[in-house]
Amino acid sequence: MFQELFADAVRRHQANRLDEAERLYGQVLANDPGHVDALHMLGVVAAQSGRHAQAAELIGKAVALSPDFALAHYNLGNALRALGRDLEAAAAFQRAVALNPRHAASHNNLGAALRALGRCDEAVAAYRRALELRPQFPEAHYNMGATLHDLGRHQEAEAAYRRAIAQKPDHVDAFVNLGAVLQACGRPADALASYRRALAIRSEHVDALVGVGIAEQALGHDADALAAFERALALRPQDPAPHLRYGLVLQALGRHDEAVGAYRRALALDPDHAEAHIGLAVAMQEAGRPADALAAVDRALVRDPASAHAWFVRSDLKSFTPDDPEIEQMESLLASADARGTDGESRLNLEFAVAKAWMDAGEPAKAFARLDAANARKRAGLTYDVNADVRRLAAIGEAFTPELMRRLAGAGDPSDLPVFVVGMPRSGTTLVEQVLATHPQIFGAGELAVLKGVVERAYPVSYLPRLPGLSGAALKTLGRAYVEGVAALAGVSARLVDKMPANFEFAGLIHLMLPNARIIHCRRDPVDTCLSCYSKNFAGRQDFAYDQRELGTYYRAYEALTTRWRDLLPADRFIEVNYEAVVGDLEGQARRLIAFCGLSWDDACLDFHAARRPVRTASANQVRRPIYRTSVARWKAYASHLGPLLSALGVAPDAAGRGG
């Protein structure tokens, strides 16, 4: 009789008549409390109804009565995962796969539990086994992609997401996560296309809208980025995440007060949101408020003491001594990451933070043990060919001939508003901009993507093939587009400083399209420059910076191109400023810079460190301090760890530091 009742309950369960099935399973158990199948199935109904604690209790009783019941262990794992009890869930799935090694779903869900525990390499192995058993398993491909993304293995993650989409073309979350991977690989246009595919499936997918905003911002489409974030906020106003992302884009646009407001709104919704506290900390850091920045990042660490991002930001806000207990705290976090097999951006942030701390503490060997590991890890996740960059930079120099410059001289837009500060990252560009921007007639706009955007919109592939036949009218159009793109930022200022270091590539084109623009090329000792690059986990794409030999090779190509500009461009439109010269003679170099910009001297330029303007670069802290000399010939202390770099630069390890 009870078996017939149980069979009736199963039929109703299969027909999704859960209330009726639950009642009948209950009747079976009322008469036979040890009916294992009824306990199991009643637990499944509870899970399907969202009552996961009850489900875990019922299914737990079933496996206690029948320890070899593989499917019950699987469903117990699902209930425990829903309750956030991932360690117990992993044990349940491991028992399920031991009892039924060919159950692909158990391997897949085991992978999910292991990923939640930070055991990503084990998770990947579990997904691989699931896919060996069932190749057509889009969720396992998707989960594999997410875990590989966590590990920083972006190319493999992309392939996994694409397999998930091939098997399930409407897998909206796979499109969203694929977009995030493509964004991480420096392919914002491809990322944008993926996010838009997600929105075509589900037009109000908030994470896809946030992704669109991030990609649009990376492409320099600021208005479109803001529109995407505002739409996400309208759809999910009580979610702190869109407020956080909105704050980040506002911050990048220099709308500092609005960004702070967005972070505060995120925190009003979730006071424990560690990333919002970190966003606020960075905003305070950029505004020259280090005490407020430290307080904000400390609040993040109270919420999440293991936050690698928070430690990364905190390490940049202070100097460490050899006995600083915070170094050991970070080292302990790295040891835990080693034990769990954790990789990806969090691991990188911690390694770069610890390396910086050991450098502060005067421990080169300890610093480079972490720094070399971090850079190797970062480099492994990139698709980069330094020789392609060498060829590209050489081609730019070869394309700008004296004949071309003479033919097109003066043809561009006549505006004298722009001042471009260019050079390698970490070469003193932020210091020079800060000195200039302290002048009352100069607006410091920071690192703008406007020039690159103007050129790429006009010539999506490359402008170089079109250069020989370029007309004066085309150059004037390009110049006018740039000026219109920055004029609102400048307001009534006589000059606007665009401090995008990578614009050194465009110096020849800048002079043709804006013949009255000033270009200031910042130079610093080559080894000091490269060491400083190598010690940073850059927020933007600086793919050449994570391998010493590649870094030195890229530097030589950069040096060749800027030498070309020095020979080719007129001295009243292109000058070079040595970092070491600024450090040695601030007033003399500052007066030279202001005169080059065609303005009268102002003593305020000597108090650049007191300026309250936001500074959005890795040098934000340094330019809040008076001139200091400890960064000159800094590389000497690390020479024994810089062999590949010195070789690539052609510098002898015992060479005297010399201004570049």
How many angstroms separate the Cα of 90 from the Cα of each of 72, 78, 403, 474, 621? 14, 9, 70, 63, 45
Question: pLDDT at residue 80 above 90?
Answer: yes
Q: What local confidence, expressed as pLDDT, does residue 622 receive?
A: 52
**What share of the chain has pLDDT > 70, as a percent?**
95
Q: What local confidence, expressed as pLDDT, does residue 614 receive?
A: 57
Average pLDDT over residues 285-294: 86
Contact (CB, 8 A) for 529 and 426 = yes
Question: pLDDT at residue 612 above 80?
Answer: no
Query: Tell me: the pLDDT tens digits for 312-367?
Result: 999 999 999 999 999 999 999 988 877 665 666 788 889 999 999 999 999 999 99
β-pairing, 442-444 vs 518-523, is unpaired
Question: Under the phi-then-psi rule, with left for phi > 0, alpha for psi from -120 to 50, and beta for the rest, what region is 651?
Answer: beta
The total of structural domains in the chain comes to 1
Rounded Cα distance, 248 and 276, in Å: 10
Decide which of 626 and 326 is more confident.
326
Rounded Cα distance, 618 and 356, in Å: 13
Query: Tell me: the pLDDT tens digits for 462-484?
Result: 999 999 999 999 999 999 999 99
Query: Tell me: the pLDDT tens digits for 441-466?
Result: 999 998 888 999 899 999 998 999 99
Confidence of residue 659 (pLDDT cuts 50, 70, 90): very low
Q: What local confidence, expressed as pLDDT, does residue 541 receive?
A: 80
User: Long-range contacts of range 10-18, CB-CB < 8 Å, 24 or more positions apart?
Assistant: 10/41, 13/41, 13/44, 13/45, 18/45, 18/48, 18/49
Q: What local confidence, expressed as pLDDT, does residue 655 receive?
A: 62
Average pLDDT over residues 152-168: 94
Structure tokens at 650: 């052609």
Query: Tell me: the pLDDT tens digits for 504-543?
Result: 999 999 999 999 999 999 999 999 999 999 999 987 789 9
Q: What local confidence, expressed as pLDDT, does residue 382 receive?
A: 85
Q: What local confidence, expressed as pLDDT, does residue 286 receive?
A: 82
Decide which of 186 and 146 is more confident.
146
Whether 189 is covered by a domain: the verdict is no
Give the dihedral of Cα atoms 376, 378, 381, 387; nearest 10 deg.
-70
Confidence of residue 202 (pLDDT cuts 50, 70, 90): very high
Rounded Cα distance, 239 and 237, in Å: 6
Q: Which residues pair with 419 in a beta bridge?
A: 497, 518
Whether 146 is covered by a domain: the verdict is no
Question: pLDDT at residue 296 above 60?
Answer: yes
Query: Tell me: the pLDDT tens digits for 363-411?
Result: 999 999 999 999 998 998 788 999 999 999 999 999 999 999 999 999 9
Whether 13 is covered by a domain: the verdict is no
pTM exceeding the 0.85 threshold for the entire prediction = no
Question: pLDDT at residue 620 above 50?
Answer: no
Q: What local confidence, expressed as pLDDT, does residue 152 receive?
A: 79
Confidence of residue 658 (pLDDT cuts 50, 70, 90): very low
Whether 64 is covered by a domain: the verdict is no
Whether 490 is covered by a domain: the verdict is yes
Query: Tell me: the pLDDT tens digits for 559-568?
Result: 999 999 999 9
Whether 230 is covered by a domain: the verdict is no
Q: What local confidence, expressed as pLDDT, does residue 609 receive?
A: 66
Confidence of residue 554 (pLDDT cuts 50, 70, 90): very high
Q: Return mean pLDDT, the chain.
A: 91
Average pLDDT over residues 150-177: 95
Q: Which residues pair with 421 in a beta bridge?
A: 520
Q: What is the C-alpha radius of gyration for the chain, rounded to an integer number of angstroms?
A: 29
Range of the domain at 604: 396-537+557-649
List the Cα angle 590/610/276 in 5-degree steps.
125
How many angstroms separate the Cα of 547 from the Cα of each of 550, 582, 633? 5, 29, 21
Question: pLDDT at residue 200 above 50?
Answer: yes
Q: What is the largest CA-CA distance in the chain?
A: 102
Contact (CB, 8 A) for 586 and 606 = yes
H/E run at residue 578 = strand 574-578
Classify each residue of 90-110 as buried b or exposed e, where b means 16 or more C-beta atoms within 10 Å of its C-beta.
Answer: bbbbbbbbebbeebbbbbbbb
Rounded Cα distance, 142 and 172, in Å: 11
Q: What local confidence, expressed as pLDDT, does residue 5 receive?
A: 87
Whether 468 is covered by a domain: the verdict is yes
For residue 139, which of 97, 168, 117 has the smallest C-alpha distance?
Answer: 168
How many angstroms separate the Cα of 418 from the Cα of each of 219, 399, 523, 597? 21, 24, 20, 9
Most confidently modeled of 19-23, 136-140, 244-248?
A: 136-140
CATH number at residue 597: 3.40.50.300
Average pLDDT over residues 236-257: 86
Whether 34 is covered by a domain: the verdict is no
